[in-house]
Amino acid sequence: MIFDSHAHYNDDAFAADADEILASMPENNVGRIMNACAALGEMDRILELCRKFPFVYGSVGIHPEYAEKPGSSAEAAIKSFAADEKILAVGEIGLDYHYDEVPRDIQKECFDFQLSLAGELNLPVIIHDREAHKDCLDIASAHREVTGVFHCFSGSREMAREVLGLGYYIAFGGSLTFKNNVKTVEAAKYVPLDRIVVETDCPYLAPVPMRGKRNSSHYIRYVIDKLAEIKNTDRETIENITFENAERLFRIGGKI
Ligand code: NI
């Protein structure tokens, strides 16, 4: 069975058919899905999906694109959503220097604050790092009590080494299949299998040969096939190991 460790079924792209698509997952070998939150306004829909589908889990957090100065109301909201038994992580949080929509100092402050909250709540984090590798590592390093996953990993082998050193998992998605993405393939070669999880980040980042289309967990098999090729093993081995890894990462069944 497959664990899609990062998806956004509350996205507008799924407004018409999220329920239908999700209902078709178990028969297509997708056994668990982490639906990641980007803004607190998404939480009602995320919880609705968690209630409806036993195999869907959620996270709560503020994506760097929506980062704001940390305050008591955000803190209270994150804590109350995190108390739900299906909310298993704080995320997605991090830094995005590609779009730079929010000033970097505010992104950093918001990231740092949510790492502290994750520490306090004893939850793993889902880190979004886009073109901000050094600052992400520096801030994550200041919270050694917290681990989680670097989602949609786009760093080098050297960066992977540092992320692993902090105790994090590394998630590979559609970009692993993109042509000329030598750096990510090199990183995937380097990361031991017991620290890898797979994801779609759907509706975004559909893998080759579906690139450009609306992504869904149905297409995660292309990422799994690519990983199997890189690791010189078969699809089933990758599916099983990444499933177990994601269960460990999100402590499925272990939330107090
Ligand atoms: Ni995402």
User: pLDDT tens-digit profile of 208-224?
Assistant: 999 999 999 999 999 99
- pLDDT grade for 253, boundaries at 50, 70 and 90: confident
Domains and CATH numbers, the chain: 2-254 (3.20.20.140)
- Distance from the alpha carbon of residue 75 to the mean position of ligand 1, in angstroms: 21
Q: What is the distance, to the nearest Å, from the Cα of residue 19 to the centroid of all Cα atoms in its chain?
A: 21
* Segment 113-156, tens digit of pLDDT: 999 999 999 999 999 999 999 999 999 999 999 999 999 998 89
What is the C-alpha to C-alpha distance for residues 212 and 148, in angstroms, rounded to an integer?
29
Mean pLDDT of the chain: 96
Structure confidence at residue 157 (pLDDT):
96
- Distance from the alpha carbon of residue 126 to the mean position of ligand 1, in angstroms: 9
- Distance from the alpha carbon of residue 6 to the mean position of ligand 1, in angstroms: 6
Structure confidence at residue 54 (pLDDT):
97
* Segment 149-172, tens digit of pLDDT: 999 998 899 999 999 999 999 999
Whole-prediction pTM value?
A: 0.97
pLDDT(256) > 60: no
Percent pLDDT > 70 in the chain is: 99
- 4-13 mean pLDDT: 98
- 243-250 mean pLDDT: 98
| Residues whose CB falls within 8 Å of the CB of residue 193, separated by 6 or more in sequence, listed in order | 231, 238, 241
What is the C-alpha to C-alpha distance for residues 207 and 219, in angstroms, rounded to an integer?
7
- Distance from the alpha carbon of residue 193 to the mean position of ligand 1, in angstroms: 22
- Distance from the alpha carbon of residue 216 to the mean position of ligand 1, in angstroms: 12
- Distance from the alpha carbon of residue 128 to the mean position of ligand 1, in angstroms: 7
* Segment 55-108, tens digit of pLDDT: 999 999 999 999 999 999 999 999 999 999 999 999 999 999 998 889 999 999
- pLDDT grade for 4, boundaries at 50, 70 and 90: very high
> How many residues comprise the chain?
256
pLDDT(255) > 80: no
Buried b (16+ CB within 10 A) or exposed e, 66-104: bbeebeeebeeebeebbebebbbbbbbbbbbeeeeebee
Spatial contact of 72 and 136, defined as CB atoms under 8 Å apart: no
